[in-house]
Structure 1
Amino acid sequence: MEFLSVKITFFFWMHLTLLIVMAAGFCQWLLLYIYAIFLPILIILRAWFYFKLKWQLFLVDLCYCINLVLYIYIWVGPSVPEFLYVIFGISHGPVLTAAITFRNSLVFHSMDRMTSCFIHLMPPLLTFGIRWYPDRITHWIAPFISNQDLNLTEQSFWIFALPLAILVFHTAVYLSFLVIVRPSEEYVGFYSYLTEGSSGIWPTIFKKFARKWRPFLYILLILTIGGTSVLLNFLWYNYFYANLTVLCLVFSRLIWNASTFYVDVFRKKGMDSEPYSVLWCSTWCDEQPDTRSANKVK
């Protein structure tokens, strides 16, 4: 049963990835239907698994919030271009950068890793299509309006200042929640993953500092990476080939991360490196899941 699920997962994600690549290049309107159909399914599935693994704190990250906002936008606000500008700024800024910073990888047999890729790549792909091909995204409930003639002042506000303010607000609310609620250490989230993780460059850096300084280091990291990525939106929004190039480079990086995973991780740990597989097996075999060996990748 376990290996059958892995085969089905590989088959599904390989075909869906090919479909997304084809849609991004030749029929951008299809991206809307792919996103509208599969995002709720993947989020519900991930929420179920993450609650089982006590990883639900990951579900309040900015990446999930912007996917929720984008989903509302395509159904409710296609005719509101300001909505698009802000979503473009965040999805091409912190969300796209997170795919690189936290080593997303196109590991087709892994539902966990491929869901992360979907969450981080579909918002920039979809806003790329709406930004540059609004006339091709016509097979929808309402036409998308994209005013391409924003002046520098308007761009500074909509695709830089406002996305950065949202990033700061989310970071403040997230840390305040951790301070006020103080969830048990058995619950893993983005902050605990970065500061207390067992492997990876970021946990290694954070552990060099005393616990009391780690929230400040976390804020510095998020705002430095997020602020820099948002600043680059001026390039992505104004130049088609720059926007296309950065998406291709990120996609290539995710392929490289996948090759590294198969050579360095999967070769040693096998199916224990896939948390969904561990939980799936335990669910059907009446065993308790041992997630300690699962290599969590955001």
Structure 2
Amino acid sequence: MSELSVGSSPELLATDLRKFSGSGSTSSASSTIDAGAETPAYEVPLDRLSILDVLENLALSTRINQINHTVRRKGGEIKGLALRQRDRVLRGREEDIDRLKRRFLTSLARFEAKWEDAHVVSQREKLAFAFGLGNVFASGLLLGAHPEWFHVWYSVQMGYLMPIRIYSFRKRSYQYFLADLCYFVNVLLLVWLWIFPGSRMLFLSTYCLSYGTLAWAVITWRNSLVLHSIDKTTSALIHVLPPVVLHCIHFRLDDNYKARRFAGAARLKSLSLWEGMLWASFWYAIWQTLYHIFITIRRKEKIKAGYLTSFEWLRRSYKDTKLGIFVNSLPEPFPVLAFTFIQFGYQMLTMIPCPLWYHSKYLSATFVFAIFMVASYNGATYYIDVFGRRFQKELGKLQTDVATWHNSSSPPTPVTSPRNIPIDVKSDQLDVVDEDVDAIDLTDDKENGKPLSTLMPTASAPSNIEKAEMKTGTIMNSSLVASESKKSR
């Protein structure tokens, strides 16, 4: 059949077919008999084939190809229609998601605008001050009257203060400070209180870390109890409350109740310094490993982009000290290793007096009270020095403006409220900062010691400013009357 061509004459085609049928039938029959196969039920003799049948058989492959092409084309059209429909559905979903996202961001921006409104800020700070003062009173009341409920009081406070801390820190790009050791110790204490209260090892570790690094951080990091600020109050409480909770459990609870509720504390009859250092070092190693994996390594690019960590803050704040110069002069990655070992040595040093606090309730109470007084003194420094100097600076500027208006012959412009007077920020003046990281130095407020700090809104200025405004208005009225009388004369 390969020798047949469509352009041949009918006679040649017939001759070729006869030759092909004569030679091919014998071999076909013999091969069929040799193989033992059955004869086909229907076989068309080749001598009866016409030229039209041959041409039709030759055109069969062409029709099959056309059918295959049509099927592929229709299949491609159906597939393209399905893909377009899928893209349309996905695009509609993405548009819905984008619309919901825009609506959420708009609502969030509207909420933040209301939240940052001066009146709302003032009311919020008043409520925060009342809450902070009530918190101190309630804590003292529970310590004296119902010490068995103090750990519940502490857990409730951490339950609503920590979400506020997480939100406020993420808003200001301080979220990596949440991985510091102080938060890890608070989580460790909550785990012991509510999950493993019978663990002697966990109680020993938490006690040494709380009375060691956590309590002494109030002094070294200068945490301040500023009652009108929820952030600063939270920073003070997460360092002061864990030692108070453990003091209450160890010294204030009845022995039977302690053995039933906190078996781990009841089993620790005496505190060995070496055992405490061993288990505290174990948990410190766990925290430091997790910190370096999830913060130093996995968040390396974001830290380079400007996100602050406690290590970066210390490098910038103490860059002019001898220790800071030494650490910063080391090649990478040795500054991080040096910081790790310095912090570990500081932890071991602060744990040395822990056996004294554990074996004497008077020494323990004195130490906890001293830590609370340091936080209170830092808060008083914030109120007196920061607010006092700001008020004096604003009042001096206001008096200068009033004297200028009084001596000028032109009509004075309306008096601007001291809260709206722009204040020039200088490096040698004490200004308020809206930065509530645990490492804020309240007694030395130079900008070189506070990286990335921003000015706090002055809506929380003392109420004496209102009196100054009233006096200023009186002075302005008297000056206006005097100028009018001169003109009339």
Does TM-score exceed 0.5, indicating one fold?
yes
Name the structure 1 match of 2:261: 143
Q: TM-score, structure 1 length as denominator?
A: 0.81
Name the structure 2 match of 1:226: 347
Match of 1:156 among 274, 284, 306: 274
Match of 1:292 among 450, 453, 461: 453
SS in structure 2 at match of 1:196: helix
Q: Distance in 1 between matches of 2:381 and 2:271?
A: 43
| Pairwise CA distance, 1:165 | 3.1
Deviations 1:52-91 (A, max 9, x none): 1000001111111111121122112223333211111111
* Structure 2 contact 200–268 (Cα < 8 Å) conserved: no
Deviations 1:142-169 (A, max 9, x none): 61222242374xx532x22111332244
**Distance 1:228-1:260 versus aligned 2 partners, 3 A rule:** same
Unaligned runs of 5+ in 1: 277-290
SS in structure 1 at match of 2:267: coil
The runs of at least 4 aligned residues of structure 1 exceeding 4 Å deviation read 136-139, 268-272
Q: Distance in 1 between matches of 2:215 and 2:256?
A: 22
Alignment of 1:29-40 (within 5 A): 29-40=148-159
* 1:64 is the counterpart of 2:183: yes
Name the structure 2 match of 1:191: 311
C-alpha RMSD of matched pairs (Å): 2.7
**Distance 1:75-1:173 versus aligned 2 partners, 3 A rule:** closer
Equivalenced residues, count:
272
* Structure 2 contact 225–375 (Cα < 8 Å) conserved: yes
Letter paired with 2:288: T
**Higher mean C-alpha deviation, range 203-212 or range 81-90:** 203-212
Alignment of 1:45-194 (within 5 A): 45-135=164-254, 138=257, 143-145=261-263, 146-150=266-270, 152=272, 156-157=274-275, 159-176=276-293, 177-182=295-300, 183-184=302-303, 185-194=305-314
Letter paired with 1:231: I
Deviations 1:193-249 (A, max 9, x none): 21124xxxx454365343536424422431232111122212111222221111111
Q: Distance in 2 between matches of 1:62 and 1:262?
A: 28
| Pairwise CA distance, 1:138 | 4.7
| Pairwise CA distance, 1:273 | 2.8
**Higher mean C-alpha deviation, range 202-211 or range 225-234:** 202-211
Match of 2:379 among 252, 258, 266: 258
| Pairwise CA distance, 1:269 | 5.6
* 1:208 is the counterpart of 2:313: no
Deviations 1:172-191 (A, max 9, x none): 44245314531234322211
Q: Distance in 1 between matches of 2:313 and 2:225?
A: 21
SS in structure 1 at match of 2:350: helix
* Structure 1 contact 13–108 (Cα < 8 Å) conserved: yes
* Structure 1 contact 110–274 (Cα < 8 Å) conserved: no
* 1:273 is the counterpart of 2:433: yes
Unaligned runs of 5+ in 2: 1-119, 392-430, 437-451, 457-489
SS in structure 2 at match of 1:292: coil
Name the structure 1 match of 2:141: 22
SS in structure 2 at match of 1:231: coil
**Distance 1:131-1:94 versus aligned 2 partners, 3 A rule:** same
Deviations 1:25-75 (A, max 9, x none): 443223122112110211101101111100000111111111112112211
Letter paired with 1:87: T
* Structure 2 contact 271–355 (Cα < 8 Å) conserved: no
